């Protein structure tokens, strides 16, 4: 349990003493270890959690401890120098990208962790772009300075070149690899050395900078002063006049520049060896924004495009964003919420602006990973968990009913892989639909569909690991026994050329008949543009009440596909003509006509299949480079280039997901167990014609 149990008295700190921060990084950069050290040094935990021993505070799920990876983002509250940190530890694995996306949406600042040897890796780029999208100010921590091959300056250069950032080096490492023992604080020009205390709580602050790094420290300090001065006109004038700005002036200017996304301060250390973490905590306080710095949140008035702003103030009207749903065996449904303005009392009602429903908040909880503490009231700037709301989903805006606002929601990527799941026994059938419903409530990138033709339940996700973890959770948490099919690639269908199509449905029976007739224009769209339906009916050739019926028919045909039964995408459909019958025309007749027209048009429009293409980054010892490249090419892959890093080569490539099943095992056997790879969905591309033909023949 926590060392300092938070009570309402010391929890309710002023707005400028709150920091909502997330720790984000590529998998295996030491993100969870860094978060564990933050909790330890801030007195949140007595004991340092260790991933290898499986006793971390933030990775509390059994699957996380067994695999040594973070799966769900965990939230916690702690204090450093009377400033309250609300920290979210996010997953690094690309299969759980939704967790990172939704965490970044509600954070005010981020700490990005890099591996000093690996530098900027693919997932680091992905999370950096996600942070750019939500305009999250950040500081960086170059971790693992004690690792063989650690390269501080090389990593700083990569941050600048690959991420397009403007890094400002704030500390310079003293030693590296096994000689790393501390850093020079370039602001104060003092050496911070961790040598006497294994846990790193105590360290020496020396006025004398070690000789071996003195020149480098002076060089980087001069550069730091220049970079900070460039962000502020008054300081620049002073600097150009030959006067050095004071530490106080530099800190103030740097804070402003970080909050304005202009620069990124850089720190270094090794979390595992407990060195260099405290300067990062100070940097969170000094340079990352509080809700007061961000001043306001912008939203829209429901039902209009009118922009409205809310001050991030407890005295304002209430507004909040639900960013995560978790199902807890003891408490039931928990809604993680970031409160932007106003305050919320337990037992009160909230208005869900997205759904237009009122819901009661029975309890408000402060979370510490999977432990919780009940509080009476929550204020602007806090991240809390609500118990009570049943209908609220990820991305919904909660507000005061008399003063509604819609905040920017959260967008999630499309699933790329799916598998069939069926219950082992009849009694498991009900359990299965309950389990799937629960998991899709929690995870927006997990989708469930029933194929009515085969009566199979299909679950889709972001990768094999994602689906594997979800199936494992069903077994453990819900006691469900199920048969699982092998993973299938999420193909899509589209057309290659514009075409016209007609759908005519006439059925004569005794009494009323059925009559529906529509003419459509079909045009292919660019990759990833989805589906557009346009109504171009002139002069009432189809009455306006039947136009939604045609669209409904078209949309239902999109789901079923034409070529091989996969969903149709990247298509624009224009309804431009048709005819109707005064008596026999009906909603269902026009739906059927819409379906017939689309099927006809797709067949005439050169239907083809699209497949997900993955971006690959394969790291192999130099001697296996040729073998690994040859293997990628044999999988219809496209090698983009290679990069030398110490004694290994990084191969960057694109390859179809369909060709990458079991790739981890193959790569291990090709490289004597020394190759590792990372992949993430990139885009969709057409499947070669000969492969489509062989798939149709199966």
Give the model confidence (pLDDT) of 493-509 as tens digits. Answer: 999 999 999 999 998 77
Between CA 343 and CA 320 the distance in angstroms is 9
Pairing of strands 383-387, 417-423: unpaired
Are 519 and 578 in contact, with CB atoms under 8 Å apart? yes
Q: What is d(CA 152, CA 220) in angstroms, rounded to the nearest whole number?
A: 13
59, two tokens: 């990775």
State residue 6's pLDDT score.
Answer: 38
Give the Å distances, CA to CA, from 467 to 261, 438, 492: 36, 15, 20
Share above pLDDT 70 across residues of the chain, in percent, rounded to a whole number: 89
CA dihedral 434, 435, 440, 445 (to 10 degrees): -150
> What does the pLDDT average to over 611-620?
88
DSSP state of 508: -
- Summary mean pLDDT of the chain: 82
- Which residues have CB under 8 Å from 604's CB, separation 6+? 499, 500, 501
Span of 44-48, 131-135, 160-164, 368-372 with lowest mean pLDDT: 44-48
**Which strands form 357-360's sheet, in the order they lie side by side?**
357-360, 349-352, 397-399, 319-328, 332-341, 383-387, 363-368, 371-375
Give the tens place of pLDDT for each residue, 110-129.
899 898 888 887 667 777 88
Q: How many CB atoms lie within 10 A of CB 187?
A: 19
Please tell me the distance from the alpha carbon of residue 271 to that of residue 20, in angstroms, as a whole number: 21
109-115 and 18-25 strand pairing:
parallel
- Convert the pLDDT of each residue in 535-553 to its tens digit: 998 888 898 899 999 999 9
Residue 639 scores a pLDDT above 90: yes
> Could you tell me the two tokens for 269?
């250390």
d(CA 436, CA 429): 11
Per residue in 395-453, pLDDT tens? 888 998 888 898 877 777 777 777 888 888 777 777 888 888 878 777 777 888 876 65
Query: What number is the average pLDDT over the span 648-676?
Result: 84
Q: Taking the CA of residue 358 as centre, how many other CA atoms within 13 Å lie in the half-sphere pointing to its CB? A: 7
Residue 60 pLDDT > 60: no
pLDDT at 57: 43
Q: Which of 46-55, 325-334, 542-551 has the highest mean pLDDT?
A: 542-551
Report how far residue 265's alpha carbon sits from residue 584's, in angstroms, rounded to the nearest whole number: 71
369-378, 491-500, 527-536: range with lowest mean pLDDT = 369-378
- Strand order across the 182-185 sheet: 171-174, 182-185, 190-193, 204-206
Confidence at residue 288, expressed as pLDDT on a 0 to 100 scale: 93
**pLDDT tens digits, one per residue of 335-347:** 888 888 888 998 8
The CA distance from 357 to 362, in Å, is 16
Beta strands in 382-481 (DSSP E): 383-387, 397-399, 406-407, 417-423, 447-451, 456-461
pLDDT computed for residue 63 by the predictor = 45
pLDDT at 47 over 70: no
Would you give the distance in Å from CA 343 to the centre of its chain? 27
Whole-number Å distance between alpha carbons of 620 and 675: 5
Per-residue pLDDT tens for 152-171?
999 999 899 888 889 999 99
The residue that leads in pLDDT, 200 or 65, is 200
**Residue 604 confidence (pLDDT):** 92
Alpha carbon distance 225, 210 (integer Å): 21
Q: What token pair was written down for 45?
A: 């935990």
Tokens linked to 558 = 């999109």
pLDDT at 140 over 90: yes
> Mean pLDDT, to the nearest integer, of 307-313?
86
More confident call, 533 vs 88: 533
With 90 as the cut, is the pLDDT of residue 518 above it?
A: yes
| Of 617, 488, 469, 465, the residue nearest 93 (C-alpha) | 465
Listed in sequence order, the DSSP H helices in 518-586 are: 547-560
Distance, CA of 384 to CA of 405 (rounded, Å): 20
pLDDT average, residue stretch 340-368: 87
User: Residue 573 pLDDT > 90, yes or no?
Assistant: yes
pLDDT beyond 90 at 690: no
DSSP 8-state secondary structure symbol assigned to residue 16: G
pLDDT confidence bin for 72, thresholds 50/70/90 = very low
224's tokens: 């730091």
- The pTM of this model reads 0.69
Whole-number pLDDT of residue 454: 61
pLDDT for the residue 75? 66
Query: pLDDT at residue 625 above 80?
Result: yes
Segment 315-319 shows an average pLDDT of 89
Return the structure tokens found at 185: 């604080």
Q: How does DSSP assign 233-301, residue by residue?
A: HHHHHHHHTT-PPPHHHHHHHHHHHHHTTS-EEEEE-BTTTTBS-HHHHHHHHHHSPPHHHH-EEEEE-
Tell me the domains of the chain and their CATH numbers.
Answer: 8-294 (3.40.50.300), 296-407 (2.40.30.10), 417-488 (3.30.70.870), 493-606 (3.30.230.10), 612-697 (3.30.70.240)
Cβ atoms of residues 314 and 320 within 8 Å: no
Average pLDDT estimate for 181-198: 86
Asked if 607 contacts 567 with a C-beta cutoff of 8 angstroms, the reply is no
């Amino acid at each position: 349990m926590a060392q300092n149990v938070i009570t309402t008295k010391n929890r309710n700190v002023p707005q400028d003493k709150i920091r909502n921060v997330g720790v984000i990084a590529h998998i295996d950069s030491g993100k969870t270890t860094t978060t564990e050290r933050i909790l330890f040094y801030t007195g949140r935990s007595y004991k340092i959690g260790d991933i290898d021993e499986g006793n971390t505070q933030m990775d509390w799920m059994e699957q996380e401890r067994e695999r040594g990876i973070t799966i769900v983002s965990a939230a916690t509250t702690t204090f450093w120098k009377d400033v309250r940190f609300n920290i979210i530890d996010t997953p690094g694995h690309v299969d759980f990208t939704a967790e990172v996306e939704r965490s970044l949406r509600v954070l005010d600042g981020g700490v990005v962790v890099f591996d000093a040897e690996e530098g900027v890796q693919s997932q680091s780029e992905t999370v950096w772009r996600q942070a750019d999208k939500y305009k999250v100010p950040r500081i960086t921590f170059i971790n693992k300075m004690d690792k063989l091959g650690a390269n501080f300056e090389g990593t700083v250069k990569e941050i600048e070149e690959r991420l397009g950032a403007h890094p400002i080096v704030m500390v310079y490492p003293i030693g590296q690899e096994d000689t790393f023992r501390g850093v020079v604080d370039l602001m104060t020009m003092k050496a911070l050395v961790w040598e006497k205390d294994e846990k790193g709580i105590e360290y020496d602050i020396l006025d004398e900078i070690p000789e071996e790094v003195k020149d480098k420290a002076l060089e980087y300090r001069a550069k730091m002063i220049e970079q900070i001065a460039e962000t502020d006109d008054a300081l620049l004038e002073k600097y150009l006049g030959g006067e050095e700005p004071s530490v106080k002036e530099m800190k103030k200017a740097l804070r402003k520049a970080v909050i304005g996304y202009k620069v990124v301060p850089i720190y270094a250390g090794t979390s595992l060896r407990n060195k260099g973490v405290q300067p990062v905590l100070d940097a969170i306080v000094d340079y990352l924004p509080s809700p007061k710095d961000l001043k306001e949140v912008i939203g829209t008035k429901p039902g209009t495009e009118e922009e409205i702003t809310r001050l991030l103030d407890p005295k304002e009207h209430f507004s909040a964003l639900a960013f995560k749903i978790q199902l807890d065996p003891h408490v039931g449904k928990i809604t993680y919420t970031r409160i932007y303005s106003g305050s919320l009392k337990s037992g009160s009602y909230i208005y869900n602006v997205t759904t237009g429903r009122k819901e009661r908040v029975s309890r408000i909880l402060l979370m510490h990973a999977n432990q919780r503490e009940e509080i009476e009231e929550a204020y602007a700037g806090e991240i809390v968990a609500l118990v009570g709301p049943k209908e609220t989903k990820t991305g919904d805006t909660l507000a005061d009913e008399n003063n509604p606002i819609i905040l920017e929601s959260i967008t999630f990527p499309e699933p790329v892989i799916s598998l069939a799941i069926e219950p082992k026994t009849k009694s498991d059938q009900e359990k299965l639909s309950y389990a799937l419903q629960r998991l899709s409530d929690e995870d927006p990138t997990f989708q469930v569909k029933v194929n009515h033709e085969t009566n199979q339940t299909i679950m889709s996700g972001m990768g094999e690991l994602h689906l594997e973890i979800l199936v494992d959770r069903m077994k453990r948490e819900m006691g469900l026994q199920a048969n699982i099919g092998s993973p299938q690639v999420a193909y899509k269908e589209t057309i290659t050329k514009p075409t016209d199509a007609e759908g005519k449905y006439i059925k004569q029976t005794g009494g009323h008949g059925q009559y529906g007739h529509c003419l459509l224009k079909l045009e292919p769209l660019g990759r990833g543009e989805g589906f557009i339906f346009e109504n171009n009916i002139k002069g009432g050739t189809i009455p306006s009440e039947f136009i939604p019926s045609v669209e409904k028919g078209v949309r239902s045909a999109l789901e079923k596909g034409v070529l091989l039964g996969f969903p149709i995408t990247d298509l624009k459909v224009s309804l431009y003509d048709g005819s109707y019958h005064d008596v026999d025309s009906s909603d269902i007749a026009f739906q059927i006509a819409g379906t017939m027209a689309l099927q006809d048009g797709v067949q005439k429009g050169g239907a083809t299949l699209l497949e997900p293409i993955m971006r690959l980054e394969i790291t192999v010892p130099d001697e296996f480079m040729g073998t690994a490249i040859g293997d990628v090419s044999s999988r219809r892959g496209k090698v983009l280039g290679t990069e030398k890093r110490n004694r290994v080569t990084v191969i960057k490539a694109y390859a179809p997901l369909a060709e990458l099943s079991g790739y981890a095992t193959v790569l291990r056997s090709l490289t004597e167990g020394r190759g590792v790879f990372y992949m993430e969905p990139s885009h969709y591309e057409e499947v070669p014609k000969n492969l489509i033909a062989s798939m149709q023949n199966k």
